[in-house]
């Protein structure tokens, strides 16, 4: 089984959210599908995502698998670009 997060961008022309791609964890590595998720994955491979939900702040990187995917929803949660919950596929 794999886990994935879908990214949605706001389409101003049609006034709705549109899927722009996804990031998938296949159990061994992260795979980006679509240009926007590829850019996000490239950036976060270098800088990581901070987890502010715990008293001690920790960074997660793509190599951390599902923990990394879980943090995407909190990092990308705005009207222009948002990440879905983690889905098991």
pLDDT at 87: 97
Domain ranges of the chain: 3-88
DSSP H stretches of helix in 1-89: 35-47, 66-75
CB-based contact 27:3 (threshold 8 Å): no
How far is residue 31's CA from residue 28's CA, in Å, rounded to a whole number? 10
pLDDT digits (tens, 9 = 90+) for 32-78: 999 999 999 999 999 999 998 888 889 999 999 999 999 999 999 99
The model's confidence at residue 1, banded by pLDDT at 50, 70 and 90, is confident
Give dist(CA 70, CA 77) in Å, integer. 12
Instruction: Return the bridge partners of 11, or none.
Output: 16
pLDDT at position 66:
95
Q: Which residues pair with 30 in a beta bridge?
A: 25
d(CA 5, CA 20): 11
């Amino acid at each position: 089984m794999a886990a994935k997060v879908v990214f949605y961008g706001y389409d101003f022309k049609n006034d709705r959210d549109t899927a722009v791609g996804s990031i998938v964890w296949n159990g061994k590595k992260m795979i980006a599908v679509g240009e926007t998720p590829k850019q996000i994955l490239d950036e976060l491979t270098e800088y990581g995502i901070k987890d502010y939900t715990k008293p001690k702040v920790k960074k997660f990187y793509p190599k951390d698998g599902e923990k990394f995917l879980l943090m995407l929803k909190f990092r990308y949660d705005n009207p222009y670009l948002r990440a879905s919950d983690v889905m098991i596929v």
